[in-house]
Structure 1
Amino acid sequence: MSSFLSGRANEVGLVVGIVVLYAFLAFMAPNFLTPANQLNILRDAAFVGIIAWGMTLVLISGEIDISVGPHVAFAGVVLAKLAASGVPLPMAVLLVLVLGAFIGTVAGFLRARFEVPSFIVTLSLWLALRGIAQVISNAVPIVIMDFDFQRFGSGALFGIPIPAIIMLVLFVVFTFIATRTVFGRSVYAVGGNAEAARLSGIPVAKVRTIVFAISGVLAALTGILMASRLGSGNSGAATGLEFDIIAAVVVGGTSLFGGRGTMLGTLLGVMFIGALVNGLVLMGVDPFAQGIVRGFVILAAVMINIISIRRVRSR
Structure 2
Amino acid sequence: MADITRQQIGSLLAKQGILIAFVAFLIGFTIANPKFLTPDNVLSVIRSSAILGVMALGVTFVVISGNLDLSVGSMMSFSTIVVLDLHDKIGPALAIPAMFAMTLALGALIGFLVGYLKLNSLIVTLGMLSAIHGLTLTYSGGKNMDIVDKEGTWFSVFGQGTALGLPIPILMFIGVAALLGLILSRTSFGRKVYAVGGNGTAATFSGIPRARTVFMCYLISAACVATAGLIQASRSLGSQNTVGQGLELEVLAAVILGGASLLGGSGTIFKTVIGVLILGFIQNGLLLIGLQFYVQFIVTWVIIILAVWLDIAAKRGKLWSPIA
How high is the TM-score relative to the length of structure 2?
Answer: 0.89
**In the alignment, which residue of structure 1 is the partner of 2:100?**
97
3-state DSSP of counterpart to 1:176: helix
Matched, 1:140 2:146: no
Aligned equivalents of 1:195, 1:27: Cα separation in 2: 51
**In the alignment, which residue of structure 1 is the partner of 2:188?**
182
Paired letter, 1:193? N
**In the alignment, which residue of structure 1 is the partner of 2:260?**
254
Structure 2 gaps, min length 5: 1-11
Alignment size in residue pairs: 306
Q: Give the conservation status (yes or no) of the 8 Å contact 2:116–2:212.
A: no
1:111 aligned to which of 111, 114, 118: 114
**In the alignment, which residue of structure 2 is the partner of 1:130?**
133
Structure label with greater radius of gyration = 2
Aligned equivalents of 1:15, 1:303: Cα separation in 2: 14
Q: More displaced, 131-140 or 101-110?
A: 131-140
Aligned equivalents of 1:282, 1:195: Cα separation in 2: 49
Aligned equivalents of 1:40, 1:175: Cα separation in 2: 24
**In the alignment, which residue of structure 1 is the partner of 2:284?**
278
Paired letter, 2:268? T
Output one character per residue of 1:162-221: Cα deviation in whole Å (capped at 9) or x when no partner: 111111111111111111111000000000111100000000000000000111111011
How many angstroms does 1:10 deviate by?
8.2
Aligned equivalents of 2:160, 2:52: Cα separation in 1: 15
**In the alignment, which residue of structure 2 is the partner of 1:301?**
307
Q: Give the conservation status (yes or no) of the 8 Å contact 1:11–1:264.
A: no
Paired letter, 1:99? M
Paired letter, 2:122? F
**In the alignment, which residue of structure 2 is the partner of 1:173?**
179
Output one character per residue of 1:11-53: Cα deviation in whole Å (capped at 9) or x when no partner: 8665544433222111224632232221110111111111111
Aligned equivalents of 2:107, 2:88: Cα separation in 1: 25
Aligned equivalents of 1:258, 1:12: Cα separation in 2: 19
- RMSD in angstroms over aligned alpha carbons? 2.1
Output one character per residue of 1:267-312: Cα deviation in whole Å (capped at 9) or x when no partner: 1111100101111122232333321111001100000000111229
**In the alignment, which residue of structure 2 is the partner of 1:158?**
164
3-state DSSP of counterpart to 2:49: helix
**In the alignment, which residue of structure 2 is the partner of 1:41?**
45
Change in Cα spacing, 1:214 to 1:127, as seen in structure 2 (3 Å) is same
Q: More displaced, 91-100 or 297-306?
A: 91-100
Matched, 1:88 2:94: no
Aligned equivalents of 1:63, 1:196: Cα separation in 2: 17
Output one character per residue of 1:241-269: Cα deviation in whole Å (capped at 9) or x when no partner: 11111101101110001011111211111
Output one character per residue of 1:60-89: Cα deviation in whole Å (capped at 9) or x when no partner: 00000011111111001111111232x121
Aligned equivalents of 1:9, 1:263: Cα separation in 2: 22
**In the alignment, which residue of structure 2 is the partner of 1:192?**
198
Paired letter, 1:135? T
Paired letter, 2:298? I
Aligned equivalents of 1:247, 1:130: Cα separation in 2: 21
1:206 aligned to which of 206, 212, 220: 212
Aligned equivalents of 2:292, 2:106: Cα separation in 1: 36
Percent of paired sites with the same residue: 35
Paired letter, 1:266? T
**In the alignment, which residue of structure 1 is the partner of 2:3?**
none
3-state DSSP of counterpart to 2:36: coil
**In the alignment, which residue of structure 2 is the partner of 1:59?**
63
**In the alignment, which residue of structure 1 is the partner of 2:5?**
none
Output one character per residue of 1:79-114: Cα deviation in whole Å (capped at 9) or x when no partner: 1111232x1212110111122221111101011222
Q: Give the conservation status (yes or no) of the 8 Å contact 2:15–2:314.
A: no
**In the alignment, which residue of structure 2 is the partner of 1:5?**
none
Paired letter, 1:218? C
**In the alignment, which residue of structure 1 is the partner of 2:36?**
32
Matched, 1:266 2:257: no
Paired letter, 1:90? A
Q: Give the conservation status (yes or no) of the 8 Å contact 1:55–1:215.
A: yes
Q: Give the conservation status (yes or no) of the 8 Å contact 2:79–2:230.
A: yes
Q: More displaced, 96-105 or 154-163?
A: 154-163
Structure 1 gaps, min length 5: 1-7
Paired letter, 2:27? A
